[in-house]
Amino acid sequence: MPARNILVINCGSSSIKFALVNEAHSQFALSGLAERLGHHDAVLHWQRGGERDSLMIPSGDHRTALAQLLPLVQAAAGGKLHGIGHRVVHGGEHFTTARRLDPAVMQAIRATIPLAPLHNPANLQGIEAALKLFPDLPHVAVFDTAFHQTLPEHAYRYALAESLYREHGVRRYGFHGTSHRFVSQRGAELAGLSVGDSSWLVAHLGNGCSTCAVVNGQSRDTSMGLTPLEGLVMGTRSGDVDPNLHGHLARVLGWSLERIDTLLNKESGLLGLSGLSNDMRSLEQARAQGHAGAAIAIEVFCYRLAKSLAAMSCALPHLDGLIFTGGIGENSPLVRSKTLAHLSLLNLALDKHANARTIGGVAGAIHAPGHPRVLVVPTNEERQIALDTLALLH
Ligand code: ADP
């Protein structure tokens, strides 16, 4: 059978990220981004082979962008597209694996909107547009939360009345599941272990950041919760704060819920701490030039990450290794070394040279000899979504 092509789509409220994945090749045949959808300056950017191009689609919506994409995808796939994989952020407790899209699955995704009021409607918008444009292809939904449905109850319950859980779904769900699953499998391969018989700590550090404890290929705990705000310091998200902060800001400053939501999700994290940027690369440069805000932002980021990894270790029977992934995890020797400096109690230590050279999409081991494994594993959520889609085509 010739290698098959899957189009992977990730829709935000005003954007679509896409990649055409061929099962036989690690490079994407086509990839890109449509952004500012619905605005006068909406634009589609794509990359094919070494070439980049873009097209203005003034006031274009998700459907317009996908329609413009159609001939590009057909050309890059040589007319042979086998299915479409959709990233869906929240599958609630309903979805424990990827699912072929049909009216019942669409309805269950719709029913999960109260848990992800920003993300799931955008994902559905993209799914509906793609179903109209590609009605004859199989469509598969792959959920960010599904991998974490194996958390034991003591890890996913909040210390709140049971009725809030049973009647309103208030529990910890976790996100980034596709990435944690992909890199824990790749990490086990790199280490020559079976993923079904190994235990990992994973740090996914991108704009959003989360840790995960993976035992025998299953998620046993993770740092994000009911929403992706819980846990680590992120680009613009605060991560954990005192749960009384909402009440405090409302009482002391008279702030509304919306104002506090914006503060915690969009104005905090690395951006809030540094007063400069949400981007780790910019912060590393500013720190090197003596910017105090950038320096403290990186210190807090690494200390809180180390604390979370230590907490995740409670879910492991033993440690086969720690995996770094995501834009920061794959590219920042500074963050990796500062984080591990707080984890000497777990006997973790880095090889300085291996740490410095394992950047830019390179996978490899960076631990000092005689210490537990520390691996850098580039994530590839698009590829995992394509593989999940292919698995459901039969
Ligand atoms: P997303 O979550 O949007 O997919 P990425 O996984 O691409 O994000 O990660 C983005 C983060 O990775 C940004 O903070 C960016 O600064 C950081 N990053 C990328 N390259 C480097 C680098 N060379 N050094 C430090 N940080 C980097």
Percent of the chain with pLDDT over 90: 95
Rounded to 5°, the CA angle 198-147-224 comes to 100
Assigned domain for 260 exists: yes
CA dist., res. 42 & res. 29, Å (int): 23
206 lines ligand 1 (CB under 6 A): yes
**What's the pLDDT at 290?**
98
Whether the CB-CB separation of 215 and 199 falls below 8 Å is answered with yes
- The partner residues of 212 in beta bridges, in order of sequence, read 202, 222
Assigned domain for 99 exists: yes
Whether the CB-CB separation of 325 and 179 falls below 8 Å is answered with yes
**What's the pLDDT at 155?**
98
Residue 283, number of CB atoms within 10 A of its CB: 27
How does residue 5 score in pLDDT terms, banded at 50, 70 and 90?
Answer: very high
Atom in ligand 1 nearest the alpha carbon of residue 235:
14
Q: Is the pLDDT of residue 56 over 90?
A: yes
Query: Looking at this protein, which amino acid is placed at residue 311?
Result: A
326 lines ligand 1 (CB under 6 A): yes
The answer to whether the annotation marks 279 as part of a ligand binding site is yes
How does residue 77 score in pLDDT terms, banded at 50, 70 and 90?
Answer: very high
| Relative orientation angle of helices 257-266 and 245-253, to the nearest 10 degrees | 120
Domain range for 99: 5-143
Q: Is the pLDDT of residue 234 over 80?
A: yes
**What's the pLDDT at 313?**
98
Q: How far is the CA of 358 from the centre of ligand 1 (A)?
A: 15
Q: Is the pLDDT of residue 1 over 80?
A: no
pLDDT tens-place string over residues 327-361: 999 999 999 999 999 999 999 999 999 999 999 99
| Relative orientation angle of helices 292-312 and 333-340, to the nearest 10 degrees | 60
Token digits for 265?
A: 């999700």
Question: Phi/psi class of residue 176: alpha, beta or left (left: φ > 0; alpha: ψ in -120 to 50)?
Answer: left
Which residue matches tokens 């203005």? 56
Assigned domain for 188 exists: no
Q: What is the CATH number of the domain that holds 16?
A: 3.30.420.40
Does 126 lie in the same domain as 211? no
Assigned domain for 185 exists: no
**What's the pLDDT at 49?**
87
SS3 labels along 162-205: HHHHHHHCCCCCCCCHHHHHHHHHHHHHHHCCCHHHCEEEEEEE
What average pLDDT score do residues 194-210 get?
A: 97
Q: Is the pLDDT of residue 50 over 90?
A: no
How does residue 26 score in pLDDT terms, banded at 50, 70 and 90?
Answer: confident
The burial class, CB within 10 Å (0-12 / 13-18 / 19+), for 139 is buried
Does 299 lie in the same domain as 205? yes
**What's the pLDDT at 81?**
94
Cα→Cα distances 112→85, 106, 169, Å = 19, 10, 10
Nearest protein CA to atom 7 of ligand 1, as residue: 327
Q: Is the pLDDT of residue 394 over 80?
A: no
Candidate list 41, 61, 102, 144, residue with the active-site label: 144
What average pLDDT score do residues 167-191 get?
A: 97
208 lines ligand 1 (CB under 6 A): yes
Q: How far is the CA of 339 from the centre of ligand 1 (A)?
A: 16
234 lines ligand 1 (CB under 6 A): no
pTM for this prediction: 0.96
Residue 346, number of CB atoms within 10 A of its CB: 17
pLDDT tens-place string over residues 259-291: 999 999 999 999 999 999 999 999 999 999 999
362 lines ligand 1 (CB under 6 A): no
378 lines ligand 1 (CB under 6 A): no
What average pLDDT score do residues 126-142 get?
A: 94
Q: How far is the CA of 328 from the centre of ligand 1 (A)?
A: 5
Per the annotation, the verdict on 144 as an active-site residue is: yes
Token digits for 106?
A: 């669409």
Assigned domain for 159 exists: no
Does 368 lie in the same domain as 221? yes
Does 262 lie in the same domain as 136? no
Does 216 lie in the same domain as 136? no
- How many domains are contained in the chain? 2
Q: How far is the CA of 206 from the centre of ligand 1 (A)?
A: 5
Q: Is the pLDDT of residue 317 over 80?
A: yes
CA dist., res. 25 & res. 32, Å (int): 17
